[in-house]
Chains A and B, each alone.
Chain A
Amino acid sequence: MQHPVHHNAQATALSEWVPLLLVVTVAILYLYTVLKIGSEKGGWNHWRTVSFLIGITMLCIALVPTLMRWAHQDLRGHMVQHLLIGMYAPLFLVLGAPITLALKALPVRVSRIITAILRSNWFYFLSHPVTAFLLNIGGMYLLYLTPLYVESLTKPYLHYIVHVHFLVAGYLFTWSMIGQEPVPKRPAFHVRVFMLFISIAAHAFLSKFMYAFLYPLHSPHSNGQIQEAAKLMYYWGDLSELLLAIVLFGMWYKKRGISTNPSPSTY
């Protein structure tokens, strides 16, 4: 099937690398900060570093120009990108606790601003599991069940917004579940479990719906391709949410260990 969009390969070659360079810059900043505070009091848990770098690697894979081009023409490629950017990378990035790292390393003046944001009511509202769920899964329903997906194929700015939204909303939702940063109040554990339940169900439903009714409609993709993409979304999305559930309950387990067996612990 002929794809309607004709990219000028030469002209886009350089700009295609920009997202990848941005991500690598973030990784370098993270590593530099870890080395800087490494010897200081408290130090840094290196599992966080490992996790963050896994997340960065997943983003890099998703942003390699070859995969981006494949994703633009093939819904399966798009789905691989969606899974990496919106589900797997956020899980590992959140576990890397980059905001906590920034709070440790930045000048007090800047840290205070970040802390003020984390403590504000609107941040509480934005990072509430219900809000984060609506932004995350709601965005996906919007993308695949409305003409938005087909629109994003022809409008580069929409295409970028969609990917940034995948990352930000995915990160926000994961953070609302398993965020490590110190905040004054956090929705109760059972609220988070309930929203995870709704989220897994909504994701499973959407992928099956796409499989059965061949959404996104009027796309240049063949039916077989859409069904393959929906399958990828169902099974791999499921695995990422199972991992998220394991981490969420793992945190409950860890916290109970601290409360039943008091021992000196750092945050």
Chain B
Amino acid sequence: MNQDLGKSAGQNSMWGAFLVGVGMMAAVDEIIFHQVLAWHHFYDRSTLKVGMLTDGLLHSAELIAIVAGFFRLLDLRRTGSLSKPRAWAGFFLGLGSFQLFDGIVDHKVLRLHQVRYVENLLPYDIVWNAAGLVILLIGFYLLKKAKKKEATSSNLYT
């Protein structure tokens, strides 16, 4: 039973931090690329008005995700069930998933928007998705390390 509890606390830590990661990457995307550089909006296949509306929704969701994720983690820490290695893994998985999802599904599959409206888009797409992939892999590596650590520490008790 104790092991079950430990497992779900680990899952909670990971998902709480995942939320923060998704929110942070969305914020970076939204603030740097949408607002400062104005390379694209979230939905560019319609009018500018729709583009701004979707930006507003994305912006709102990212703010709430960051706040909700942080309080989730605080709550876990208070009850002593926060797993830091799992949380770091979740954070990087969140950052990477958003970046890669945005780069593949939003940009390529749904074609909601492109990174930038230039003639040769390929270098932008490669950098965007490669960055997402690297961050995601860091997340998986941290998760693997966290699991290994949990396995060795639980062996001490059995």
Identify the A interface with B (CB < 8 A): 193, 196-205, 208-209, 212, 238, 241-242, 245-246, 249-250, 252-253, 256-257, 260
Contacts and interface: CB of A to CB of B under 8 A. Distances in A.
B48 to A, nearest CB: 6
A199 B59 CA distance: 11
A241 B56 contact: no
B61 to A, nearest CB: 6
A249 B71 contact: yes
Contact of B59 (A200, A250, A253, A260): A200
Given A201-B56, A209-B52, A241 B75 contact: no
B55 A249 contact: no
Contact of A196 (B48, B53, B64): B64
A253 B75 contact: yes
Contacts of A196: 64
Interface in B76-109: 78-79
A193 B68 contact: yes
A238 B27 CA distance: 13
Given A201-B57, A253-B71, A241 B52 contact: no
B74 interface: yes
B60 interface: yes
A225 B78 CA distance: 48
Nearest to A252: B71
Given A208-B52, A208-B55, A201 B60 contact: yes
A75 B56 CA distance: 22
Nearest to B58: A201
Contact of B78 (A201, A238, A257): A257
Contacts of B49: 209
Nearest to B67: A245
Contact of A245 (B59, B63, B78): B63
Given A196-B64, A197-B64, A257-B78, A212 B56 contact: no
Given A205-B52, A208-B52, A260-B79, A249 B68 contact: yes
B79 A200 contact: no
Contacts of B79: 260
A128 B62 CA distance: 24
Contacts of A238: 59, 63
Contacts of A253: 71, 74-75
Contacts of B48: 212
Contacts of A201: 53, 56-57, 59-61
Contacts of B53: 201, 205
Nearest to A204: B56
Contacts of B63: 200, 238, 241-242, 245
A253 B69 CA distance: 11
B53 to A, nearest CB: 5
A41 B40 CA distance: 59
B60 A200 contact: yes
B56 A245 contact: no
Given A204-B59, A256-B75, A245 B52 contact: no
A209 B51 CA distance: 10
A249 B59 contact: no
B55 A242 contact: no
A199 B78 CA distance: 30
A197 B60 contact: yes
Given A249-B71, A257-B78, A205 B56 contact: yes
B144 to A, nearest CB: 31
Contacts of A204: 55-56, 59-60
